[in-house]
Chains A and B, each alone.
Chain A
């Protein structure tokens, strides 16, 4: 199995890259680290998982430019059911446009008809509790931008507590075929052992188990109990 991680030299904030390492350790997959200047593996073959993580704003714009020549191929991959995971602000690149009060205004890949709007002095920090089918999902959000205009797209998670795609939208992320995008950031696979197993199954692992599975579930159960406590504040 192969996991392709795009642009790890810059799209690597908040421990995001540990998602790929953890999944690879679980299923023995090889990780292909693709720099911004390299031809991506996905241009010629379909990796078992294509992953893109959070980036500083300038690197996000460079990532969009680097992926633009491959936007038709990415659309083909999405339509064909390839496994793609984008966390944090990486999810913004797959929409129509990214704009912001910092003067940002650049085209996304246009795979979906949403746009991201940044507010650089109004960072949103929140906890997240949601559902993926019957699965509980916990996580953290910390972001300058929100997604707008994704109303017709199915969400990745249904929100129980916390904000979704934007401050007035409870549905979180985008889930089209096996394209999964979410503002949850950091080691979300490690924080959510059930969801990590789901992704491993998509990748072709049979009856997957996780590294240090019991310890992962111990931490998950405690966090789930905390986040389910109505007294717990959700916005920082």
Chain B
């Protein structure tokens, strides 16, 4: 199929749906289905769920090698079916694209739906969080039990017809009470429209909110996480007890991912005593974060989802909060958009490029087809001109970072620039090795 230029991981499902539009209705399904959806973190949460279930001796059918739209789910179900179309699996974990809910949930009705969060995403596809919340509310089946983030007042209120449990993360030392991000899509009370206040605000609209006018407030936690960043653990407490889980990363969104996975698995009936050893070695897949070193230079590849202001803001916040001298190479251009039209760059002005003015950021490289847009955005954010290099050719940009031992270079790349990012990483490591000779 690759020789014929078909996406081999989706093609069987795509063909099946083309031949039979309600194919998903007819194909055999496992007894228990867990869907994971939301703007950010759904891939990591789905992978962690599958990894943990596999360690527990289960064999969950999943779509981790395919796509999260209807054709990906169909391909996965096809692969799990016997010759009579009956499902050979008891359990499935499906990452599902939130925008694809109308094509999936009428036919594949999950028993549990884990929702990570809802933020602004692709302007073209997702419009704004209220729009996506409306789609989920309309199409999530009433029988599904939701596992939702109490700290996100947009996603935790979707599908009011469904029973739900709430997870969340107790106050962190880094929390604020006022928003420092450009985006906060929950500034007004969803009940009365008055100005919403935050007991603590983590980023954007994530935090614990209350309304002084009508008494509305964020829901309490059924599964509350308390992070210990010194010990790199998070304790998750619920009505039956608590467990302490190691953190694979100190990024707040990754702490949320661990708490989310624990909450979902507790709902499946696993005890903390069972889960703690299973999640001891939880790790994040390398396409999301990986670190390399040569000649005293550290090169970190960090996913910063293109066209997603929030994901990039989180990446900027995380990277600029790391100790030491930092150089940031930005490769978040959406390369597939550039093949046919021109990337809509409005999201750059929703994204907190202002974080890149923080101390320790010595140089920022604007690269790719939108390099000049990035350069302008950086200047408007307040990054001094002398700290910006601008080269549409990513490999050329890598040659102008003036690497020195002790430097840490962060390559922020989007979902479709991974191959180029790998080449840039290799070039940076070569330069660092050469300089160290």
Is the CB–CB distance between A186 and B349 below 8 Å? yes
Task: Say if the beta carbon of B131 comes within 8 Å of chain A.
Answer: yes
Interface size on A, residues (CB 8 A): 44
Is the CB–CB distance between A219 and B373 below 8 Å? yes
Once the chains are docked, how many angstroms separate the CA of A223 from the CA of B346? 13
Is the CB–CB distance between B376 and A10 below 8 Å? no
Is the CB–CB distance between B193 and A215 below 8 Å? no
Is the CB–CB distance between A56 and B347 below 8 Å? no
Q: How far is the CB of B340 from chain A (nearest CB, A)?
A: 5
Task: Say if the beta carbon of A108 comes within 8 Å of chain B.
Answer: no
Is the CB–CB distance between A142 and B188 below 8 Å? no
Q: How far is the CB of B181 from chain A (nearest CB, A)?
A: 12
Shortest Cβ distance from A231 into B: residue: B340
Task: Say if the beta carbon of B130 comes within 8 Å of chain A.
Answer: yes
- A99-138 contact mask (Cβ, 8 Å, vs B): 1 or 0: 0001000000000000000001001010100000000000
Task: Say if the beta carbon of A211 comes within 8 Å of chain B.
Answer: yes
Q: How far is the CB of A8 from chain B (nearest CB, A)?
A: 9
A14-B347 CB under 8 A given contacts A56-B128, A211-B380, A222-B372: yes
**In the complex, chain A residues whose CB is within 8 Å of the CB of B188:** 9-10, 36
Once the chains are docked, how many angstroms separate the CA of A216 from the CA of B379? 10
**In the complex, chain A residues whose CB is within 8 Å of the CB of B380:** 18, 22, 190, 211-212
Task: Say if the beta carbon of B187 comes within 8 Å of chain A.
Answer: yes
- B86-130 contact mask (Cβ, 8 Å, vs A): 1 or 0: 000000000000000000000000000000000010011101111
A232-B342 CB under 8 A given contacts A186-B349, A218-B372: yes
**In the complex, chain B residues whose CB is within 8 Å of the CB of A127:** 341-342
Task: Say if the beta carbon of A28 comes within 8 Å of chain B.
Answer: no
Is the CB–CB distance between A36 and B349 below 8 Å? no
Is the CB–CB distance between B193 and A226 below 8 Å? no
Task: Say if the beta carbon of B344 comes within 8 Å of chain A.
Answer: yes
Is the CB–CB distance between A125 and B131 below 8 Å? no
**In the complex, chain B residues whose CB is within 8 Å of the CB of A218:** 372, 375-376
Q: How far is the CB of A120 from chain B (nearest CB, A)?
A: 8
A227-B349 CB under 8 A given contacts A14-B123, A215-B379: no
**In the complex, chain A residues whose CB is within 8 Å of the CB of B125:** 123
Is the CB–CB distance between B124 and A58 below 8 Å? no
Is the CB–CB distance between A144 and B193 below 8 Å? no
- B160-191 contact mask (Cβ, 8 Å, vs A): 1 or 0: 00000000000000000000001001011000
Task: Say if the beta carbon of A149 comes within 8 Å of chain B.
Answer: no
- B367-378 contact mask (Cβ, 8 Å, vs A): 1 or 0: 000001101100
Is chain A's interface secondary structure helix, strand, loop, or mixed overall?
A: mixed
Task: Say if the beta carbon of B268 comes within 8 Å of chain A.
Answer: no
A19-49, CB < 8 A from B:
22, 35-37
Is the CB–CB distance between B376 and A215 below 8 Å? yes
Task: Say if the beta carbon of A72 comes within 8 Å of chain B.
Answer: no
A9-B187 CB under 8 A given contacts A15-B349, A212-B380: yes
Once the chains are docked, how many angstroms separate the CA of A235 from the CA of B337? 11
Is the CB–CB distance between B350 and A14 below 8 Å? yes
**In the complex, chain B residues whose CB is within 8 Å of the CB of A125:** 123-124, 344
Task: Say if the beta carbon of A13 comes within 8 Å of chain B.
Answer: yes
Task: Say if the beta carbon of B330 comes within 8 Å of chain A.
Answer: no
Once the chains are docked, how many angstroms separate the CA of A211 from the CA of B350? 19
**In the complex, chain A residues whose CB is within 8 Å of the CB of B347:** 14-15
Is the CB–CB distance between A190 and B376 below 8 Å? yes
Shortest Cβ distance from B343 into A: residue: A140
Once the chains are docked, how many angstroms separate the CA of A36 from the CA of B379? 31
- B323-351 contact mask (Cβ, 8 Å, vs A): 1 or 0: 00000000000000100111011111110
Known: A186-B345, A216-B376. 15 other contacts (CB 8 A): A14-B350, A22-B380, A36-B193, A37-B193, A56-B131, A120-B131, A123-B124, A125-B123, A142-B127, A218-B372, A219-B373, A223-B342, A227-B342, A232-B341, A235-B341
**A residues touching B (Cβ–Cβ < 8 Å)?**
9-10, 13-15, 17-18, 22, 35-37, 56-59, 62, 102, 120, 123, 125, 127, 140, 142, 144, 185-187, 190-191, 211-212, 215-216, 218-219, 222-223, 226-227, 232-236
5 nearest interchain CB pairs?
A15-B349, A186-B346, A56-B130, A9-B187, A125-B124
A-B contact pairs, 7 of them (CB 8 A): A15-B309, A17-B182, A18-B380, A36-B188, A140-B344, A142-B344, A223-B373
